[in-house]
Structure 1
Amino acid sequence: MIKKWFEIITDHRISLRERMFRIVTGVCMIAITFTLPMGRSIWNILILLLSLTAMTVIVKYSIRQKRIHLGATLIAMLLLILFPITFFSAGGFYSGVPEWFVLCFIYVCITLQGRRRVVFFGLCTAETMLCYGTAFYFPALAAPSSQHDALFDSAFSMIMVGLLTSILLMFLNKMYEEENALSQRQKKEIEELNRAENHFFSSMSHEIRTPINTIIGLNEIILREHISEEVAENARNIQGASKLLLSLINDILDISKIKSGKMEIVNVSYETGALFSEIVNMIWIKAKEKDLEFKLHVDPSIPSMLCGDEVRIKQVLINLLNNAVKYTSAGSVSLSVRCERLGVNRVRVWYSVEDTGQGVKKENIPYIFNAFRRVDEGRNRYIEGTGLGLSIVHQLVELMGGEISVNSVYTKGSTFIVSLEQDIVDEKELGTFTLASRSRVHEGETYRQSFEAPDAHILVVDDNDMNLMVVKKLLAETKIQIDTASSGAECLRLTQNHHYDCILMDHLMPEMDGIECLHALRVQPAGLCQVVPVVALTANAGSDNQLLYRREGFSGYLAKPVSGALLEAAV
């Protein structure tokens, strides 16, 4: 039985609170076994047996029913009843019982919590003072005790209380040390797991982006050709599906970065008009495809240039607008922007996204920002998405120091409101900004190269042959002379003998990565490209990576998959 008891109190699968309850209650049962016989009567022995039986029943019941706090409360009440009985039957403060009152205080402090601990601590104090006062003013109430018995009981009690308290503290200290060691081990395992998870997500993002780059790139080449409407429609469907897949990958990568604390907010100066134009151009076509009315209202007093994380603001608004379009089958989707001056060079910008869609039930609103959870799953099971979008939006807004709220009426629609404080870069007001003045139609556009440069000579470095082929095809109409290298070492061999006007460099390559190759290129003895602009063309996406490439000395950055227009613009 004792072996089993020791096994239980050292078992980490059992809660620390239950184990402490077992230990402290066990010590108190031993204390009662020593104190009650000090009364030296048959009644004390009977009370002792009844008390131990009652405590055993209480302990078993409270552990089985998972009601530890109730069990501790009942035993504390029992101790408050037993100690006065023992005190007076053993001889009052001339006995060895007063020393045992200490254990009552210890029991209350360790096993009880909150208001009960305060109340019972007060009761213990009051009872002790009452017992001493009664014994002082009414000494006849205390059983007579010889000096020999009193000295023996006092010495014995002092030793036993000290011994039991020391054992109790040693047990508790050992338990805390074991829990701390276990906590440290678990913390280390969690950190290693997080590192492995982040590495996995980062690697998967890079690996998946590489074939998507080929799909989107070659699909763009097909759309440039004179093809039948049926083939063009198929190509546009491929393009849409590829971009959806890319957005899902970005969501997973972003949630991983936010969880690991690696998501960085990069505040830069940006043009508000350009930001809204880009958002409008992405959303209004999607709304048009579903026969939804897209409404836009931008406060004309908003400054033309602000300082904030343009990339993340755009991501937040596009996520909210995409959701609005996705969950609205009829009616309209609206984007409203208003500005509030906070000081000489600071404003608070309110972005409001409203739709007439299916809305959210009142009981589901607290959960809509939870990752991997989609409210009203049965109704929304045919709608594409990971369930990460609103969680990412919520966390990005918080990282930028802003606030987000939602108002929704089920079956009537929803309104998401985001507020962000930003610095003013240019006081000039944006002025009138309308959908008609900013939107442009993409349908029916035919590709036309933005420039021709037959005398220009560039080098593309990538360990993936398909990526090299896609870049060559996307730039074919510009008539640029293009050389390719499949490794950093091959790049350095070519730059030893040829001068290039520009180099497009992949980052994650075996043996020598893009950053190492760039550094070697800059100090290459007799190299012909030491000062040539080098643009990172990589699947290692993210705003934090943009900072990395800028810091390492790259002249620009392009994330795969890259469109022909962006590629031409960079070159």
Structure 2
Amino acid sequence: LGLLGALVLFAGVTWVCVKINRISVGANLVSALLIFAVMPFSYVNSGGIRGGYSLWFLFCVVYITMTVKGKLRYFYHAASVLTAGILYYREYTEPDFVSGIGSDAEMFLSNMISLVLIGILISVMISYSIRAYREESRLANEQKKEIDELNKAQNRFFSSMSHEIRTPINTIIGLNEMILREDISDEVAEDADNIRAASKMLLNLINDILDMSKFESGQMKITPVEYGIGDMLSDIVGMLWIRAKEKGLEFHIDVDPELPSRFIGDEVRIKQILINLLTNAIKYTKEGSVTLSVQFTQKGPGSALLTFSVSDTGMGIKKESIPHLFSAFRRVDEEKNRYIEGTGLGLSIVKQFVELMGGTIKVNSVYTQGSTFVIELPQEIADERAVGNMNIEARHTMNHRVSYTAEFEAPEARVLAVDDNEANLLVVRKLLRDTKVQLDTAVSGREALARTLNTDYHVILMDHMMPEMDGIECLHQIRSQAGGSSRAAKIIALTANAGSDNQALYRREGFDGYLLKPVSGNQLETALMRALPADLVHASDGTLAAAAASASDIRTQRQRIPLIISTESVCELPPAMLRDLHISVLPHSVRTAAGIFADGTEAESGNLLFSYMDQEDNPVEAVTPSARDCEAYFARLLNSANRVVHIAMSSRIEKNGYAPAAEAARIFDNVTVTDSGQILTGIGILAVRAAEMAQRGASAEQITDAVEHYKTLVHTSFMIGTMEYMGRSGVISPMMSKFAGALMMHPILRVRNGRVYTGSISFGSLKRVREKYIRSVLKQVRRLNATGHKADLSRIYMLYADLPQAELKEVQEQLLAESGFREVICQKVSPSVAAGCGPGTFGLTFAEKSEE
């Protein structure tokens, strides 16, 4: 009865909490009452374990699981288990602790009642949950339908807006082009050029808004078509050169001369990506230059990876702003850039287009020094003939114009233009005037059918969005027109409906071509020349010259390095090897009383350095590059390379180069910093391995994976000639260094798991200790070969500080004769290492054979 009363109370509490919309409060209250009041009271007064308590405990667990959320759920579960444990223990140790069940019949009855009640309660709870879930699902589906309807309405609005805006702009650009064809003053020509560029930029902004709405609704698709890379670049330059010139910026396009001339991809979207990036580069650059570089990497028969790099000398991007760079409607460094115009959509759209095409986009930027965006897009090759040396001088200048010449003349060709807007028909008529084609016009589909019934047209230019009969229906009517004279005519869609999806629609419906308004005279002439019968077309002598004149400031360059391997100057590799393998080096430095000097360029190790250091008043300290040094270094490398893999000193070494390099790499998407787990020539061996893989065309990911595996196979060790310098640098105490010097103590240091430890200590003269050390390394090589872990005998690396030439040659000959190594690579220690280790330092490094 107590439980039934409690259940009534709980039902009342639950009903009240639901009514006042405090369900979580009610669930917590009921759970607390169950655990701390009702269950203990019922246990003690209803027969304990014989009274069906275990079933009610199960109900308590189910109730908490279904109604309580967050950390309180775990608290109540723990409390219920603890309460049950205490009650079970008390009953076990004190059977008289519970009462209420006298006979077996009462026990069976109590358990039966508990089972039925709990079954009903759990059934009610589950039914309520299912009903709530169904209600939520219904509401979610209704909201989804509303959102879908809103998206459709939004898309219809943007599509209509795009169409309606393109139509008058088509008239503006078309008639403006007629002005440019006339014999006008340079001032009028400059104004006309500005009108053309501004109109095209307006269209680009409209496209961004339309595309963002398509992305949000999941309707954006990529439509591959064949395109010429040179034509595409010329169009881009034609749109943007004026804005760059107005700001006094240099505007360059660097093209790899081996680049194939034609590709298959979504030209419209690629052009949109590049225009957005270049527009941003021009907007955020006050002085200097903006450069677009185009390269490719052959990926297989008929396929390539196109790499576009957009670089500027502008303000750069703050490190903390880079993660938000591709967010829509967000501008980095808002306070400084609040006067710069833009929709805030450009980079967001760029990233989504790149990903939709299966490519990648990365940004490298140093604040106040400029930015570089690198886009990699897989494309099919349509024509493998190289573009060659496109040595085309800049022709888009304020005071230079190219006189217009029609690409062809076709006085016997019959062309019909169909458009419900008479201004558009006027533009077509004027743009085709010099081609001398016989042009008729129609302002509706009905009028077009009337003309095609009796006239054999070679080409029909058809608008899509027309009242009564749209262009697609008119196309089908012409194709099936009984007795029609133009059933075999080439029909080209000339429409303001932008987007690759519309192009695909027109191809499916049977159009022979597609031209997007606003259309230029060059585009219109080119499309007609391809569609007209060859015997009717008489190409103009000036066609090639006019085509050349449409390009601006396109120049070829030596191909950028796809991937460069970088390491630290303490890798201790010979300069000739670094040059041959194209390994770049980040210099460490030494600090003296006279200043800081970089390894290898401003400071050299040797007797002069040691003589300087022997004077106690001349302290010398090794200096690791800072994060700022690394940033500048990586930025410089990325001027000539698309990717950088930097192999750094072990992160487990004090004052290592990994930490600042990793911090600097955070602002570069194209820089990968790898922890070598090594020092000295151990780093060098890994850098050589990585450079050899890079020359074979391995990716950055493959190289870093290989380095991670290979670094465990490298054996690095070296002996210290004198511990005096370690005492000066604070590695050991001065007293310890003097004691070690008195005993002629020479530690042998080894690298394991990224740390340096003392492998052994030898006593005696430098030469004797060196010979003993060499024998121990050769013994290690023989032991590896005997146990099946074969050493790589192609080369062994020898490091020394001040070994005389005669002894150096003697050691080389010994290593070649006794070890089986085919080559000994010798290198004097860098100044920053010499400053810490001192004269007499000598080391040997080799690697095991890799199974890869």
The C-alpha deviation readout for 1:154-208, integer Å capped at 9, x for no partner, is 4543443333323322322221111111111111111111111111111111111
Give the aligned residue type for 2:396: V
Note the C-alpha offset of 1:132: 4.4
- Mapping of residues 131-170 of structure 1, within 5 Å: 131-132=87-88, 135-136=91-92, 138-143=94-99, 145-147=101-103, 150=107, 153-170=110-127
Instruction: Determine if contact 1:458/1:482 at 8 Å carries over to the other structure.
Output: yes
TM-score by length of 1: 0.80
User: In structure 1, what is the equivalent of residue 624 of structure 2?
Assistant: none
CA distance, structure 1, for counterparts of residue 70 and residue 184 of structure 2: 76
User: In structure 1, what is the equivalent of residue 42 of structure 2?
Assistant: 86
CA distance change for structure 1 residues 415 and 199 in 2, over 3 Å: closer, same or farther? same
Q: Does 1:552 align with 2:524?
A: no
Note the C-alpha offset of 1:396: 0.2
Instruction: Determine if contact 2:3/2:42 at 8 Å carries over to the other structure.
Output: no
SS in 1 for 2:424: helix
The C-alpha deviation readout for 1:501-541, integer Å capped at 9, x for no partner, is 32111111111111111111112111111111111111112
- Mapping of residues 239-388 of structure 1, within 5 Å: 239-343=196-300, 346-388=303-345
CA distance, structure 2, for counterparts of residue 529 and residue 345 of structure 1: 39
CA distance, structure 2, for counterparts of residue 367 and residue 380 of structure 1: 15
Moved more, 133-142 or 118-127: 118-127
SS in 2 for 1:416: strand
CA distance, structure 2, for counterparts of residue 116 and residue 370 of structure 1: 37
User: In structure 2, what is the equivalent of residue 11 of structure 1?
Assistant: none
User: In structure 2, what is the equivalent of residue 490 of structure 1?
Assistant: 447
Aligned residue among 155, 160, 164 for 1:207: 164
The C-alpha deviation readout for 1:218-250, integer Å capped at 9, x for no partner, is 222223233444544443333333222211211
Note the C-alpha offset of 1:141: 2.8
The C-alpha deviation readout for 1:48-70, integer Å capped at 9, x for no partner, is 9xx999x99xx89x988x9x5x9
Q: Does 1:190 align with 2:147?
A: yes
Instruction: With a CA cutoff of 8 Å and minimum separation of 6, indicate the structure with the bigger relative contact order.
Output: 1
CA distance change for structure 1 residues 384 and 262 in 2, over 3 Å: closer, same or farther? same
SS in 1 for 2:180: helix
User: In structure 1, what is the equivalent of residue 60 of structure 2?
Assistant: 104
Give the aligned residue type for 1:380: N
Note the C-alpha offset of 1:343: 4.5
The C-alpha deviation readout for 1:339-364, integer Å capped at 9, x for no partner, is 44545554433322121212233333
CA distance change for structure 1 residues 344 and 565 in 2, over 3 Å: closer, same or farther? closer
Q: Does 1:437 align with 2:392?
A: yes
Q: Does 1:508 align with 2:465?
A: yes
Q: Does 1:567 align with 2:548?
A: no
CA distance, structure 1, for counterparts of residue 527 and residue 65 of structure 2: 69
CA distance, structure 2, for counterparts of residue 467 and residue 507 of structure 1: 13
Instruction: Determine if contact 2:431/2:521 at 8 Å carries over to the other structure.
Output: yes
The C-alpha deviation readout for 1:228-287, integer Å capped at 9, x for no partner, is 445444433333332222112111122222222222212344444444454445444542
Identity %: 53
CA distance change for structure 1 residues 507 and 352 in 2, over 3 Å: closer, same or farther? same
The C-alpha deviation readout for 1:20-65, integer Å capped at 9, x for no partner, is xxxxxxxxxx969527x9xxxxxxxxxx9xx999x99xx89x988x
Give the aligned residue type for 2:61: F
CA distance change for structure 1 residues 245 and 285 in 2, over 3 Å: closer, same or farther? closer
Moved more, 362-371 or 393-402: 362-371
> Unmatched 5+ residue regions in structure 2?
529-852
SS in 2 for 1:437: coil
CA distance change for structure 1 residues 89 and 344 in 2, over 3 Å: closer, same or farther? farther
Instruction: Determine if contact 1:281/1:440 at 8 Å carries over to the other structure.
Output: no
Note the C-alpha offset of 1:306: 3.9
Note the C-alpha offset of 1:490: 0.8
CA distance change for structure 1 residues 467 and 365 in 2, over 3 Å: closer, same or farther? same
Instruction: Determine if contact 1:31/1:100 at 8 Å carries over to the other structure.
Output: no
CA distance, structure 1, for counterparts of residue 319 and residue 26 of structure 2: 40
CA distance change for structure 1 residues 181 and 320 in 2, over 3 Å: closer, same or farther? same
CA distance, structure 1, for counterparts of residue 426 and residue 326 of structure 2: 42
Moved more, 497-506 or 140-149: 140-149
Question: What's the RMSD between the two structures over aligned residues?
Answer: 3.5
CA distance, structure 1, for counterparts of residue 442 and residue 323 of structure 2: 53
Instruction: Determine if contact 2:359/2:375 at 8 Å carries over to the other structure.
Output: yes
User: In structure 1, what is the equivalent of residue 6 of structure 2?
Assistant: 34
Give the aligned residue type for 1:437: I
The C-alpha deviation readout for 1:402-458, integer Å capped at 9, x for no partner, is 12122333333222122223344555555555xx43754364223333333333332
CA distance change for structure 1 residues 444 and 274 in 2, over 3 Å: closer, same or farther? closer
Q: Does 1:461 align with 2:418?
A: yes
CA distance change for structure 1 residues 374 and 180 in 2, over 3 Å: closer, same or farther? same
CA distance change for structure 1 residues 238 and 420 in 2, over 3 Å: closer, same or farther? closer
Aligned residue among 490, 496, 509 for 1:533: 490
CA distance change for structure 1 residues 478 and 405 in 2, over 3 Å: closer, same or farther? same
Give the aligned residue type for 1:485: A
Q: Does 1:478 align with 2:406?
A: no
Moved more, 189-198 or 132-141: 132-141
CA distance change for structure 1 residues 214 and 300 in 2, over 3 Å: closer, same or farther? closer
How many residue pairs get aligned? The number is: 520
User: In structure 1, what is the equivalent of residue 138 of structure 2?
Assistant: 181
CA distance change for structure 1 residues 323 and 486 in 2, over 3 Å: closer, same or farther? same
SS in 1 for 2:392: helix
Instruction: Determine if contact 2:197/2:240 at 8 Å carries over to the other structure.
Output: no
Note the C-alpha offset of 1:398: 0.8
Give the aligned residue type for 1:514: G
Note the C-alpha offset of 1:130: 6.2
User: In structure 2, what is the equivalent of residue 95 of structure 1?
Assistant: 51
Instruction: Determine if contact 2:432/2:525 at 8 Å carries over to the other structure.
Output: yes
Moved more, 513-522 or 148-157: 148-157
Give the aligned residue type for 1:313: I
Note the C-alpha offset of 1:371: 2.1
User: In structure 2, what is the equivalent of residue 45 of structure 1?
Assistant: none
Moved more, 325-334 or 439-448: 439-448
Instruction: Determine if contact 1:87/1:98 at 8 Å carries over to the other structure.
Output: no
Note the C-alpha offset of 1:76: 4.8
SS in 2 for 1:265: coil
